Structure 1
Amino acid sequence: MTGEPTSTGRGRMENVWEYPRPPALQPVTRPVRIVFGGRIIAATEQAWRVLETSHPPVYYLPPDAFTGCTLEPAPGRSLCEWKGVARYWTIAAGAHRAERAAWSYPDPTPAFEPLRDHLAVYAGMMDQCFVGDEAVTPQPGGFYGGWVTSDLVGPFKGAPGTMGW
């Protein structure tokens, strides 16, 4: 299930309708960083991305990337048929808080073992998220956590009328 790294963001377009189902897991070849409360709260060159049909990629950062904030366990769980049971996290940076802004898989399915304890973050709840030097756009809707970059072709699941896709 783990694919080769790609060079997206450097001239190659990806159509999310060509992403596989079940999803693929790929290491990210560009730095990833997250800004919240006016400061960089996470940065890494060791991220993973999950590619699933009709969705922009979801980026997962290792826990040690989160040095500029506090991660607090948040209530609730959810189940992904591919990755397993997710737990949620509140992100706090100074006086700023984003409730249930991140999620992780403490015991992922074998195919997604590299994601163990890595965190994905809802870009729309942060000041900005970056892949390389590009600021991402949050996936439409409030349910999914994909990050839209300029090298993606949609339409993307999450916009009104797409929940049945």
Structure 2
Amino acid sequence: MKLSKKLEKALNKQVAMEYEAAYKYNGMRIYLDDFGVPGATHWMTLQTKEEIQHAEDFIQFIKSLDGQVELAEIQAETTKYDGLASVWEAGLAHEKEITKSIEEILALAIKEKNYAAENFLRTYVDEQVEEEENFRDVLQLFELAGKDKAAMFQVDSYLGQRGQE
């Protein structure tokens, strides 16, 4: 099975989006570290690494169908935010962009009857449900904690447990 040029281009664009997500989340990680929240820093460090793995998954998939991988330029990202909630709001907005992109590529794969791409992309549709939910869940915790410093300390502690479940 071979990729059409159109599908190959779309998948390469997704590689760039995954690396951009990692770069964005790394900027957030730096902000969180400077802000002094080790649990949130840990959470975002794992998120950064996860996005790099997603990019690698897309690269390997393109290569597995004898496609040509092309790496795009990545834009600079900020390390400045207006508090903890703004970090996760920006992350959720970015995850929604990634979801939209994956859904568009999936629609193209279905149209082209590229079943391998369809199967691969469906796993990422499921992954995006989880990604958006994770960001929303953290935002909900921030909302519940409000301005209560003890509650925020607990939220940060909870975020530091990611990956230890």
Q: Structure 2-normalised TM-score? A: 0.26
Larger Rg, first or second structure (1 or 2)? 2
Higher relative strand content: 1
Q: Structure 1-normalised TM-score? A: 0.26
Greater relative CO, 1 or 2 (CA 8 Å, sep 6+): 2
